């Protein structure tokens, strides 16, 4: 038996959005003549019985917490992850998804802190554009600065074969500036998937190891927009969590900025899109317009609403339709991948999710013994036994 603070056991379960019955089942507790599985877990959480080492290991796994958390004196303090710019609805509509998001924020923050320590050891130069802009400068001025810094070419972006290739092009430019760009949407298992309705992205505005995280469960066509939106947060110096089309002044600024880079408003004003009463025709027009530019139909519809070409109610209908189409396509892709032999390996998929910059930092740090396998597992969010293999053969960064 191991002496632990029972408050930590209860906190860890609730943080994983599990009730006592679900947690007991996941932990493998069994009903007996004397008590139910849930009652056995309640005894541990009440401090009336101490957990075994094996039970703590299972809790670490099922609650998505490092084992060391359970040996602390008290419940860990709430992390400072920046400003939550999501709407009230996005914060409350999916309690389990929001609980998973809090754990994801904590895990990514641990990864970011390790990356910062390694870069400090390498005497890396700070990223010089963090917190250099303000809303008062205006969208056009800050957008121009970002385009120049990235050396972003809109024609190159649009010429890419599909939205995935366009995103890879943009990600490379962003990471060349010193920003890490990750695609994350769960705690290491599809059972903990966090939908794009809970969050679209978040950013840590650190001057040495700035992180941008995109919810990979969002439509691929939306990834590039989210990267630029979160990059705008870095320019403003605001670590933050973002949802879809928030109404806060900062969110609206970042939305307009990302839109301006990918779809200049002057171009949209002259676009041959007829806002007729036929919603099906309008949807088709927007889809064709967006697909030819490697951007999302929802973004096009949002900006049509912003310039007064369509009503807010029409945007809502279109937004819902585009989201339903994306969900349908995801299901088709899932079934196709399930029935297909071979495909991308776990390592190539995980490399693409983490991004070349973080993989490269982990590889050279492990090679110089500055990063142990156990710390690499925290930074890369993989089992320690997989960390070394993950950092090899990084030319095959493919898959999602």
The yes-or-no verdict on residue 24 having pLDDT over 50 is yes
Residue after which a domain boundary falls, among 242, 262, 282: 262
CA dist 336 → 67, 125, 163, 329 (Å):
37, 45, 19, 10
Co-location of 55 and 154 in the same domain:
no
In a domain, 138, yes or no: yes
Co-location of 41 and 138 in the same domain:
no
Supply the DSSP string of 349-369, one letter for each residue.
Answer: HHHHHH-HHHHHHHHHHHHTT
Co-location of 93 and 187 in the same domain:
yes
Residues 179, 180, 181, 182, Cα dihedral to 10° = -160
Q: Could you tell me the sign of the dihedral formed by the alpha carbons of 346, 347, 353, 354, in that order?
A: positive
pLDDT digits (tens, 9 = 90+) for 235-279: 999 999 999 998 899 999 999 999 999 999 999 999 988 877 799
Co-location of 89 and 55 in the same domain:
no
User: What value does the mean pLDDT of the chain take?
Assistant: 92
Write down the number of H helices and E strands in the chain: 19, 5
Co-location of 166 and 256 in the same domain:
yes
Lowest-pLDDT range of 16-20, 166-170, 173-177: 16-20
Average pLDDT for 305-314? 93
Query: What CATH number is given to the structural domain containing 14?
Result: 1.10.260
Co-location of 94 and 181 in the same domain:
yes
- pLDDT for 339 equals 64
In a domain, 281, yes or no: no
The yes-or-no verdict on residue 152 having pLDDT over 90 is yes
Do the Cβ atoms of 192 and 205 come closer than 8 Å? no
In a domain, 278, yes or no: no
Lowest-pLDDT range of 122-131, 201-210, 318-327: 318-327
Residue closest to 11 by CA, chosen among 63, 71, 53: 63
Lowest-pLDDT range of 199-208, 272-281, 287-296, 319-328: 272-281
In a domain, 92, yes or no: yes
Co-location of 109 and 179 in the same domain:
yes
Average pLDDT for 7-14? 93
Co-location of 111 and 206 in the same domain:
yes
Residue after which a domain boundary falls, among 14, 37, 71: 71
Q: How far apart are CA 383 and CA 309, in angstroms?
A: 51
In a domain, 280, yes or no: no
Co-location of 112 and 245 in the same domain:
yes
Q: What percent of the chain has pLDDT over 90?
A: 74
pLDDT digits (tens, 9 = 90+) for 32-70: 999 999 999 999 999 999 999 999 999 988 988 878 789
Do the Cβ atoms of 239 and 231 come closer than 8 Å? no
- pLDDT for 367 equals 95
Co-location of 188 and 248 in the same domain:
yes
In a domain, 274, yes or no: no
By the 10 Å C-beta count (0-12 exposed, 13-18 middle, 19+ buried), 253 is classed as buried
Do the Cβ atoms of 379 and 209 come closer than 8 Å? no
Which of the pair, 66 or 145, is modelled with greater confidence?
145
Average pLDDT for 145-154? 98
Average pLDDT for 161-183? 98
Co-location of 228 and 192 in the same domain:
yes
DSSP summary character for residue 295: -
In a domain, 21, yes or no: yes
C-beta neighbour count of 41 within 10 angstroms: 26
Tokens for 200, please give them. Answer: 């679209």
Domain count, the chain: 3
- pLDDT for 181 equals 98
- The radius of gyration of the chain's CA atoms, rounded to the nearest angstrom, is 23
The yes-or-no verdict on residue 217 having pLDDT over 70 is yes
pLDDT digits (tens, 9 = 90+) for 90-136: 988 888 898 899 889 999 999 999 999 999 999 999 999 999 999 99
State the pTM of this model: 0.86
The yes-or-no verdict on residue 80 having pLDDT over 90 is no
Residue after which a domain boundary falls, among 262, 280, 313: 262
Q: How far apart are CA 72 and CA 74, in angstroms?
A: 6
Co-location of 24 and 153 in the same domain:
no
- pLDDT for 393 equals 66
* Full domain range(s) for residue 359: 346-396
Tokens for 99, please give them. Answer: 């609980």
The yes-or-no verdict on residue 395 having pLDDT over 90 is no
């Amino acid at each position: 038996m191991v002496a632990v603070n029972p408050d930590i056991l209860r906190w860890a379960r609730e943080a994983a959005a599990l009730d006592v019955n679900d947690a007991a089942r996941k932990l493998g507790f069994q009903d007996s003549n004397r008590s139910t599985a849930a009652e056995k877990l309640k005894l541990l959480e009440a401090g009336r019985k101490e957990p075994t080492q094996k039970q703590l290991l299972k809790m670490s796994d099922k609650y998505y917490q490092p084992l060391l958390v359970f040996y602390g004196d008290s419940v860990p303090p709430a992390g400072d992850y920046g400003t939550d710019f999501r709407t009230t609805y996005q914060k409350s509509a999916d309690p389990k998804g929001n609980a998973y998001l809090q754990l994801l924020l904590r895990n990514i923050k641990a990864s970011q802190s390790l990356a910062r320590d390694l870069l400090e050891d390498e005497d890396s130069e700070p990223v010089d554009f963090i917190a250099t802009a303000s809303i008062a400068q205006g969208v056009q001025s800050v957008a121009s600065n970002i385009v120049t810094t990235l050396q972003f070419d809109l024609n190159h972006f649009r010429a890419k074969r599909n939205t995935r290739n366009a995103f890879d092009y943009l990600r490379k430019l962003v990471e060349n500036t010193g920003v890490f760009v990750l695609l994350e949407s769960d705690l290491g298992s599809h059972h903990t998937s966090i939908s794009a309705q809970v969050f679209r992205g978040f950013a840590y505005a650190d001057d040495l190891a700035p992180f941008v995280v995109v919810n990979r469960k969002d439509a691929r066509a939306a990834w590039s927009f989210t990267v630029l939106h979160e990059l705008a947060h870095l320019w403003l110096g605001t670590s933050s969590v973002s949802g879809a089309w928030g109404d806060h002044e900062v969110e609206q600024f970042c939305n307009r900025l990302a839109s301006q880079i990918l779809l200049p408003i002057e171009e949209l004003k002259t676009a041959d899109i007829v806002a007729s009463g036929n919603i099906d025709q309008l949807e088709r027009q927007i889809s064709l317009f967006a697909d030819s530019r490697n951007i999302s139909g929802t973004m096009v519809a949002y900006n049509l609403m912003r310039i007064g070409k369509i009503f807010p109610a029409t945007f809502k209908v279109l937004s819902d339709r585009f989201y339903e189409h994306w969900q349908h396509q995801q299901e088709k892709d899932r079934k196709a991948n399930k029935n297909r032999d071979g495909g991308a390996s776990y390592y190539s998929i995980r490399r693409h999710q983490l991004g070349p910059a973080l993989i490269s930092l982990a590889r050279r740090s492990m090679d110089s013994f500055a990063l142990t396998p156990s710390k690499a597992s925290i930074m890369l969010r993989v089992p320690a036994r997989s960390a070394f293999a993950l950092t090899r053969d990084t030319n095959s960064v493919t898959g999602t």
